[in-house]
Amino acid sequence: MTLQEMVDAIKKRPDFDKVGMVACHNGVVRAMSRDGRNVRGLEIEADRDRLEAILLEMNGREGIIEIAVHLFEGYREVGEDLMLVAVAGDIREHVFPVLEETVERIKKEVTRKKEFFTE
């Protein structure tokens, strides 16, 4: 799955004429942890039921037409994609906050990660 494929699918919606913007997030494995250690990779697990609950809630927000999410589970190396999120909505004042909150909630409530560090 790619962000472009996600956006293309959103554009095929019959109500796409209501969309004024699509904002996207592409999270990748970075080489350094927040505490400054060198990262080799991450192991990711996701709670799919919790993800569906969050998406149901966020899709109900004012002006939001669709939210598409793809999570990459398993072992991911530095530079590889972790999470793709596309939020389609009417205006940026509705879309950007939903994109940010969706990403934050997925990271906190849906995914669990184990970091692997270099020696």
| pTM score above 0.95 | no
pLDDT tens by residue, 26-74? 999 999 999 999 999 999 999 999 999 999 999 999 999 999 999 999 9
Q: What is the pLDDT of residue 15?
A: 96
| Angle of helix 48-59 versus helix 92-105 axis, rounded to 10 | 160
Q: What residue ranges do the domains of the chain occupy? A: 3-117
- CB-CB neighbours of 117 under 10 Å: 11
Q: Is pLDDT at 119 greater than 90 in this prediction?
A: no
- Is the per-residue pLDDT at 114 higher than 80? yes
Give pLDDT, residue 85: 98
Q: Tell me the two tokens of residue 73.
A: 């589970």
Q: How confident is the model at residue 91 (pLDDT cuts 50, 70, 90)?
A: very high
- Would you state the structure tokens that stand for residue 5, as one six-digit string? 């494929």
DSSP run (H or E) holding 2: none
d(C-alpha 24, C-alpha 1), whole Å: 14
Q: Tell me the mean pLDDT in the region 100-106.
A: 98
**What would the pLDDT profile of 11-36 be if each residue is shown by its tens digit?**
999 999 999 999 999 999 999 999 99
DSSP state of 37: P
Integer Cα distance of 42 and 78 in angstroms? 8
Architecture of domain 3-117: Alpha-Beta Complex (3.90)
In the chain, count H helices and then E strands.
3, 6
What is the percent of the chain with per-residue pLDDT over 90, rounded to a whole number?
97
Indicate the length of the chain as a whole number. 119
- Report in angstroms the alpha-carbon separations of 57 from 66, 77, 119: 11, 31, 42
